[in-house]
Amino acid sequence: MKRIHLYFISFIFIIFALPSFILSAETIELEEITIETTNTNKQPLTTTPIEMYGPTAEANFYYEITSDISDGEYFVEFSITKSSLLIEPSSLTIEIDGIPVRTVSLTNDSAEKIRVDLKNSALDIGIHTITANFSGYVVAGVCTPQNTSGNWITIQPSSYIQLATATAEEYSLADYPQGFTGSDMNVTTIIIPSNSTTSTLQSAHMVANYLSALSSENSIQVLNEDEVKALKGNVIIVGAIDEFDTTWTNEILAHTNQENWQEGTLDISQHTLTQNKKNVRALLVTSQEANAILDKIKILTHQALIEQLSGESLQIIELPVLPDGQATNEISFQDFGLEDTLLDGQQAKTQTYYSYLPIDKNRLSQPSIELLLKRSDRIKNASQDDLSALSANVEFIVYINEVPHAVDMHAVEEDTDGNISVKIPLDKDTLQENRLVSMRLETSGLRTENPCIATDQNNWIYVYQDSKLVLPANQEDGEMDFNHFPFPFSDGNNNLIIAVPEEGISNQNIQELFNIFTINNQIPPIQLLSSSDLTEEHMKKGNIVFIGSIKDHAILRDVENDLIVRYDEYKPLLGEHGFIDSEVDYYSFIQTNPWNEDYMMVVFDYLKESQNYVTSEFMNFLFNTSTPASIAVQTGPSSFYTNSLQLESVQETNDIQEEVTANNEWVIWGVGFLLLLATIAILIFVVVRRKRIN
């Protein structure tokens, strides 16, 4: 069962002390910039497609009404795709708080958009549940099985609920990140100073990276203040007070409580920006110093701290010490997006879930699946001789990358609490084809295949979200090529230095870099530095990403002779590696860190004039390549090449040389052995001859 929470239902406050002052916020009437938005609040029901399989299935969604709302047009709209095999009486029934409000036949095209108005008790204050019940038929006739692969519908991410926009008084920091997660209908903009420091830049992109993981693709954007011509959705303004130049940002920031600031204070406040009865929400993240923002930005990116946000405004002087985030070699079912799930005769399988491998796939060693389950007593006590037992021969099947891994639910043992722990070995080749892992769960034997048998006996298997994939890893074996990328740069146990040119790079490039090095919402400790701030001490402390090459970074010129790509007057000699220089738009190379061989370094740059140093296409190619290569180029849209053939040739040459050397060594040893035998024979002959003479 897929559960999508539209709003936070509850907040768990853990025992971390936040030294802070809680202040009140206010509504800000804007004059210096236009607001272009409506006051309707469209929230997506889901950010991913929800698959539902017949003969019956259901999906639940939740929304919350926090205060009395005025009359208006409030509704939920489902956008679905469906199997063309569905026949009467296939239907989708929508329930609000358990009460059926509309049933739609799925045998006509008009069923692809289903709208249900929210009225009366559905708009009462409190938490409400929307349930979509699917009943599917694909074959006519009496006593005909309906559970075929062609019996399905899918609820699309374009489905949404429309409610009234909350009033300013209803907004709270406790709502974060809800309201600032983006969707196709609501893009969230993070606004930074036009000439921001690297500290402000990093802070903004850390927030953007966190929100991107919770949002639809391309629905979180970072813009300089001078790029914003109108406010079309909710905004987050990040930066030190003195960094901002435009009149409209200063108009907003004038409402912060600067008189209460102490040295190093981070001010976070929630405001409603209004104009001509239109409004948007604004989260202001400010301080007197950009470094103070960076030092405390985890308040908006670390779940343990986010859960403590409350009120309309906080002034944070000091953050609690948090445990260092260590890279994990596990993917729990919850990480896949699967909550505690009940599988039974009505819902015998789940949809497909996806997650990225949290470690370098080339280092996998003896992976396994560790399952935590419960089962019904009828499965536990079923007898093969009991012909009426529907639970005979029940299997629980985990599909990893479409490879099935089955568990006989009769053969497993329970603990004293009735829980079942099962460990299934996993062939590492199953995981090494792609860094993206797919998973779905299925059962066999929970339902009768004879539809003429009616029974109220229910067989079920309960799957805990703490079940997981365990992925032990071998130690790194020295230098790595692009077939390991984005590792080791994504390794949460090592620092990552991103060096940018003095003139800066586009926000789009920075956002793409942060995204590519984030694996399953985990990002390594990043330090974003301008070229002039780089020192050899920085270079020795972790893996390095250079945006731009020796023309942009003096410190890189100091180790030019150690680079695998040679340069002639700042131009890379890519022809030496088998590329046609004139055709190359972008290039990249990966090698051992010249300042510290325990780490790696990667360089991204362009050859033809461009506003970007690297494209998202190029980085995605490197992310997904399985070919060993140390140099890669992009020559056009979807056109990429590597030096893998050259590396193979070099390797073959090295192998031949090693073989020749080994053969030569055998010859030398053979000749030496023969000379030794000859020497011994001569000595024996001389000794024997002397004895005879004597």
- Is the residue at 239 inside a domain? yes
Same domain, 498 and 568: yes
Same domain, 74 and 219: no
Q: Is the pTM of this model over 0.85?
A: no
Same domain, 158 and 244: no
Q: Is the N-terminal amide bond of 404 cis, ω within 30° of 0?
A: no
The pLDDT value given to residue 360: 84
Same domain, 271 and 183: yes
H/E stretch holding 205 reads helix 198-212
Same domain, 130 and 192: no
Q: State the sign of the Cα–Cα–Cα–Cα dihedral 34, 35, 37, 43.
A: positive
Same domain, 366 and 501: no
| Averaged pLDDT for residues 260-283 | 86
Res. 153: pLDDT tops 50: yes
- Which residue, 141, 164, 187, sits at the end of a domain? 164
- Is the residue at 19 inside a domain? no
- Residues 643 and 622: their CA atoms lie apart, in Å, by 13
The pLDDT value given to residue 391: 44
Q: What is the pLDDT of residues 509-548, one digit of tens each?
A: 999 999 999 887 788 899 999 999 999 999 999 999 999 9
| Averaged pLDDT for residues 637-647 | 82
- Is the residue at 463 inside a domain? yes
Mapped to the 3 state alphabet, what secondary structure does 493-555 carry? CCEEEEEECCCCCCHHHHHHHHHHCCECCECCCEEEEEHHHCCHHHHCCEEEEEECCCCCCHH
- Is the residue at 388 inside a domain? yes
- Is the residue at 588 inside a domain? yes
Same domain, 496 and 630: yes
Rounded to 5°, angle at Cα 404 from 402 and 408: 160
Torsion of CA 373, 374, 378, 380, to 10 degrees: 70
- Which residue, 283, 316, 349, sits at the end of a domain? 316
- Is the residue at 151 inside a domain? yes
Same domain, 140 and 256: no
Q: Is the N-terminal amide bond of 145 cis, ω within 30° of 0?
A: no
The pLDDT value given to residue 649: 45
Instruction: Identify the three-state secondary structure at position 680.
Output: helix
H/E stretch holding 207 reads helix 198-212
Same domain, 101 and 187: no
The pLDDT value given to residue 479: 63
- Which residue, 425, 445, 470, sits at the end of a domain? 470
* Bridge pairing between strands 571-572 and 495-500: unpaired
Here the CATH number for the domain that contains residue 369 is 2.60.120.260
Same domain, 205 and 143: no
- Is the residue at 442 inside a domain? yes
**Nearest residue to 470 (alpha-carbon basis) of 326, 328, 330:** 330
| Averaged pLDDT for residues 169-191 | 81
Of the pLDDT bands very low, low, confident and very high (cuts 50, 70, 90), residue 147 is confident
Of the pLDDT bands very low, low, confident and very high (cuts 50, 70, 90), residue 450 is low
Res. 449: pLDDT tops 60: no
Domain encompassing residue 69: 41-164
Same domain, 145 and 216: no
Q: Report percent pLDDT > 90 for the chain.
A: 43
Of the pLDDT bands very low, low, confident and very high (cuts 50, 70, 90), residue 392 is low
Burial 354-384 (b: 16+ CB within 10 A, else e): ebbbbbbbbbbeebebebbbbbbebbbebee
Same domain, 490 and 634: yes
How is 9-39 classified by DSSP, letter by letter?
Answer: ---PPPS----EEEE---EEE--SSEE---S
**Is residue 337 within 8 Å of residue 213, measured between CB atoms?**
no
Structure tokens, 498: 């991103």
- Is the residue at 321 inside a domain? no
Here the CATH number for the domain that contains residue 244 is 3.30.379.10
Total number of domains in the chain = 4
Q: Which ranges in 339-448 belong to alpha helices (H)?
A: 377-380
Output the average pLDDT for the chain. Answer: 83
**Nearest residue to 296 (alpha-carbon basis) of 610, 662, 20:** 20
